[in-house]
Chain A
Amino acid sequence: NAGVTQTPKFQVLKTGQSMTLQCAQDMNHNSMYWYRQDPGMGLRLIYYSASEGTTDKGEVPNGYNVSRLNKREFSLRLESAAPSQTSVYFCASSETGVPTGELFFGEGSRLTVL
């Protein structure tokens, strides 16, 4: 199994450009998450999706939009990129209704906004 797959792994944008980060999981998980991690910092939750068709804001949602395309896929869109959005973005998934809370992470997408 591939687990959680993120694309692209690296991206450089200019201020004001838009892009979408893609995430897919093959573990039949209901919940999916997007986190960002700035250098030397912990992870911060951007958005999450408890199940197909639902999305909710996390700690730092401003400047982002998400789409839960189906059970497998959860995308993160930057409509007008800003240098403050330079970060590593991690997608994760987990079971729903199981109070173990174990998250399975992708390898990350490194975004640089110039």
Chain B
Amino acid sequence: LAKTTQPISMDSYEGQEVNITCSHNNIATNDYITWYQQFPSQGPRFIIQGYKTKVTNEVASLFIPADRKSSTLSLPRVSLSDTAVYYCLVGDLLMDSSYKLIFGSGTRLLVRP
């Protein structure tokens, strides 16, 4: 079961770029890397997912090096509303084709004015 390690917390200021790195040394060949965002009193929300190299969508970029043992979530020009907990997940695609996702403790991002 692949596990992930992330920083417990990070601070930033509005308008800055934030990079959150996650390590997943035991990632399996068929595992994808997924990032979720969670606001207080809400369920997590999907941000971005990737397998290798770089993925970009309207809210974030995900950088994955060739060995896939780590990944970096990049949030451009953060605002106060980006204050949340960010989870990096590596999914286990099981024999029955289900996807078992284990959450770690996440990174608490605080964006200051």
Contacts and interface: CB of A to CB of B under 8 A. Distances in A.
Contacts, number: 76
Interface stretch (A14-22, A78-86, A97-105): A97-105
Interface residues of A, number: 31
B103 A50 contact: no
Given A101-B34, A101-B101, A51 B106 contact: no
Contact of B105 (A33, A41, A92): A41
A21 to B, nearest CB: 14
Given A42-B105, A100-B49, A101-B91, A107 B42 contact: yes
A31 interface: yes
A97 B97 CA distance: 5
Interface string B53-66: 00000000000000
Contacts of A99: 30, 32, 91, 93, 99
A27 interface: no
Interface in A25-65: 30-31, 33, 35, 41-45, 48, 50-51, 54, 58-59
B78 interface: no
23 contacts: A31-B99, A41-B105, A42-B85, A45-B101, A48-B98, A50-B94, A50-B96, A50-B98, A59-B102, A90-B43, A94-B99, A94-B101, A96-B99, A99-B93, A100-B34, A101-B32, A101-B49, A101-B99, A102-B46, A103-B101, A105-B43, A107-B42, A108-B42
Interface of B: 30, 32, 34, 36, 41-46, 49, 85, 87, 89, 91, 93-94, 96-106
Which 3 residue pairs spanning A and B have beta carbons closest together? A105-B43, A50-B98, A101-B91
